[in-house]
Amino acid sequence: MKAGELTKLAPLSVSAYFLDVDGTLLEIKPRPEDVAADEVLRALLTELAAATGGALGLVSGRKIDDLDRIFTPPMFPAVGLHGAEIRFPDGARLAPPAGAMEAVRLPLARFIAAHPGLRLEDKGAALAVHFRQTPELAGEVLEFLAKLAQNNGLAMQPGKMVAELKQAHHDKGSGIATLLANPPFAGRMPVFIGDDLTDESGFLFVNRQGGISVRAGPAGAATHARYLLRDPPEVRAELSRLLAGL
């Protein structure tokens, strides 16, 4: 994507913007809890939201409460836990059923304990296994989680040095669809910017709607996104150009 191209493809006045967080707006860190938005990014998103009439949403594998920790004071409409959580512009929420992960917590905890270096992130309605510190265990982690998911009616979602167990009927595409069906998103062209395998469902949905899909990352990776930005700084720069182009 050329600098300033997003202004021509998806003007703020007619578009609904959906933005992934880790690896897209902000650089990935070894510990998810260390990620936080600076004042400049918070201000940028606040101005973009105003320019779209409120049609800007965050889309993440994180819990919505964790997104609020990262971005507060502004609190944006959001898709959390890969679509299992939704916060609408009026503050109303859809939440996953309690106990969705109970059947797999114990076997997963035993697996983690038997493999030093792995880290379990319990998100409530999703369970993430981070193997950034032990990349040689990637294959074993993916195989174990795939079997655990299959045996318990769940889905296994791989990502960058992480794999998650989640409810099978939720993904980022379904979350974007839910927000897009409601004002002020409804009737606007969807734009989704993401960076990871977890974002591919969002790219596919936006493409089917005739929208704009943008992947943040190096060229050459297989993706359904139709445009490319190199990294989070380039994403933020392109979003800043949108405001400058008003």
**Residues designated catalytic:** 20
DSSP-derived letter for residue 207 is: H
| Contact of 92 with 84, CB cutoff 8 Å | no
Residues in the chain: 246
Q: Where are the alpha helices (DSSP H) in 98-231?
A: 102-113, 138-151, 172-180, 200-208
If one counts every other C-beta atom within 10 angstroms of the C-beta of residue 161, the result is 16
Residue 182: C-alpha distances to residues 13, 176, 188 (Å): 17, 10, 10
246, 12 contact by CB (below 8 A): yes
Buried b (16+ CB within 10 A) or exposed e, 106-138: eebeebbeeeeebbebebbbbbbbbbbebeebe
Tokens of 101: 């992960």
Structure tokens at 71: 């971005």
The phi and psi torsions of 93 (rounded to 5 degrees) equal -130, 150
Of 205, 228, 203, 202, nearest in space to 215 by CA: 228
